[in-house]
Homo-oligomer: A and B are copies of this chain.
Amino acid sequence: MSSCGSLAQQRVRDHALMTTLQRLGITIPIVQAPMAGISTPTMAAAVSNAGGLGSIAIGATDVAGARSMITETRALTGRPFNVNLFVHAEPKADEARAQNWLSALRPLFQIHGAEPPATLRKIYKSFAVDDEMLSLVLEVRPKIVSFHFGLPGADHIQALRQAGCVLMATATSLAEAHAVADAGIDIVIAQGWEAGGHRGIFNPAAPDERLGTFALTHLLVKQSRLPVIAAGGIMDGAGINAVRALGAVAAQLGTAFIACPESNADEAYRAALAGAGAKHTIMTAAISGRPARCLANAFTNWGEAGAPADIPAYPFAYDAGKALNAAAKALGESGYGAQWAGQGGPLLRPMTAAALVNLLWQEATVPTATVT
């Protein structure tokens, strides 16, 4: 490869980057990750107003809640933001598995003076089968729509494209990235092993390659046809520049925003993330039924040591997980929360979302070292 060849490739990459930012309507290649239950319209608007891409996650709410969140965000910013949807395979109820799970959880409920629920409910509807939510999204037409856990059907995607939405989807492997490209999605989000919260893997029952942010981002840049946004462990400007060096068009940060005042994280979660515990995260399916990276706590310890192997499917297990957390919190015990966090947690810096975006970009645009 000649030096000229490399320079030409660099120009092609620069062009792809500018084109992607223009399509997203942003000026700074920083995406605030959608974090259901944690990110807020206020956070998303602040990030978008600062030039990045704010995100709201409507996968854990219904149509009325989603409409409210979108309306609230629009009231706070005239700039584009991202609306994120959960597109998991719809699970079948399995009452025997549910009862086995609830029996195993009973002692944890009882030490908090509570009893487990009588059964497990499917607390969220996948966007894949949610025609009402599709109608809402087509009505409000967010500039950007992103998918997590999988892809909706071709008709959904076609309708969203015709409505003018730019589409993004998470991939954790090259095979998923190919599926994303084949479905007509515009941008792929490479979610590395380091990432906090729910792992976007399409089929959690299949073997997981567990590709690190570094390896996954590089692989998708080289072998996927789509622009790549990298996610997983990115906490500052150096991190942003590292994934840009790999060829990513932007960086998506979630954990970095958890300690913002605009976040819904409770005090115990913020304290855990600010302390030594941030060094210890666990990928566990025991809380929700799907693998997710969480600060090590009482719930993840039980998941590692005491939980039955046959965890009810997402989101059935999450019904019990949320009930257990509520019972524990009522007694002042915070160790049963879904305290999602990525492996970069120890590098977190609490500040407002706008200040964080500004700082990140200031750090990222410091002239780089040239040692030759």
* A residues in contact (CB < 8 Å) with B: 1, 3, 6-7, 10, 13-14, 17-18, 21, 29, 173-174, 192-194, 207, 209-216, 218-219, 221-223, 232-236, 238-239, 241-247, 279-281, 283, 342-344, 346-347, 359, 362-363, 365-369, 371-372
Contact = CB atoms under 8 A, between A and B. Distances in A.
A366 B3 contact: yes
15 contacts: A1-B363, A10-B368, A10-B369, A18-B371, A174-B279, A194-B215, A214-B239, A214-B242, A215-B232, A215-B233, A218-B238, A242-B242, A242-B245, A242-B246, A368-B368
Contacts of A14: 369, 371
Contacts of A365: 372
A366 B1 CA distance: 11
Contacts of A6: 362-363, 366
Contacts of A215: 194, 212-213, 232-233, 342-344
A297 to B, nearest CB: 14
Nearest to A7: B366
One complex includes copies of this chain to the number of 2
Contact of A247 (B207, B211, B238, B281): B238
Contact of A209 (B1, B13, B212, B280): B280
Contact of A212 (B207, B214, B221, B346): B214
Nearest to A21: B371
A212 B192 CA distance: 8
A202 to B, nearest CB: 16
A343 B174 CA distance: 12
A13 to B, nearest CB: 6
A219 B344 CA distance: 7
A173 B246 CA distance: 23
Nearest to A5: B366
B7 A367 contact: yes
Contacts of A239: 214, 218, 246
Contacts of A222: 346-347
Contacts of A29: 371
Contact of A369 (B194, B243, B244): B244
Contacts of A232: 212, 214-215
A1 B238 contact: no
A238 B245 contact: yes
Contact of A343 (B209, B221, B366): B209
Contacts of A17: 369, 371
The 5 closest A-B CB pairs, nearest first, are A212-B212, A215-B343, A215-B233, A241-B245, A242-B245
A370 to B, nearest CB: 8
Contacts of A211: 194, 343
Nearest to A2: B362
A366 to B, nearest CB: 4
Nearest to A344: B215
A216 to B, nearest CB: 8
Contacts of A281: 209
Contacts of A369: 10, 13-14, 17, 244
Contacts of A13: 369
Contacts of A367: 7, 10
A363 B222 CA distance: 14
